[in-house]
Structure 1
Amino acid sequence: MTSMRQRHHFHTDHAGHSVTVTVQTGHAVVVEVLVDGKETGYVTTHGDDPITVRIELPTDPPQPAAIRAKPGPGTPGCLFEAPGAEPRPMSPRAY
């Protein structure tokens, strides 16, 4: 039996930086985080448990942030978290 792999994309802007997340579901879950188009975080796991990916925004000094990805069940979702800011859902993207 093969499992269907699907890619789900999410985006937000924070402190002048573009943050994009791809959540690939299937047998293994892959979460990839890009900041300003550069890969800054990558995690693989199994199952539908939420995953936290810690990243740094390229500010001066670098600012820590985190992405909380929820691979399932159902439609995946992502939450962006940064110090001093309310956690916020990331917008789904169709690409």
Structure 2
Amino acid sequence: MRHYEDRGLLVSSRTPTGYREYGAEAVGTVARIRRLLGAGFNLDTITVMLPCLGDDPDLPIGMCPQVAARIRENVARIETESADLARRRRAIEELIAQR
């Protein structure tokens, strides 16, 4: 969580003894961050996207222009990677078939 705070994604307060305390909203923010990381976005991209998201981590991601553009870019990247993996698989299968 400190890493997320260092990136400006979370805000904490400090206790008199120096411990970090996070508000209740941090739970939802971390859930959204983890969900976006799981979808293949990096923290730089999430930093741009996070302000566009709603407060409920279980609701669909909001479609402000920045979020919509990043999602389209990510889908295009995944499609390219998928096609590349399919080409590699065919090449490997051809090598195996030549034995």
TM-score range with shorter-chain normalisation? Answer: under 0.3
Larger CA Rg, structure 1 vs 2 = 2
Query: Whose RCO is larger (CA < 8 A, sep 6+)?
Result: 1
If each structure's strand is expressed as a fraction of its own residues, which one has the higher value? 1
Structure with the bigger percentage of helix: 2
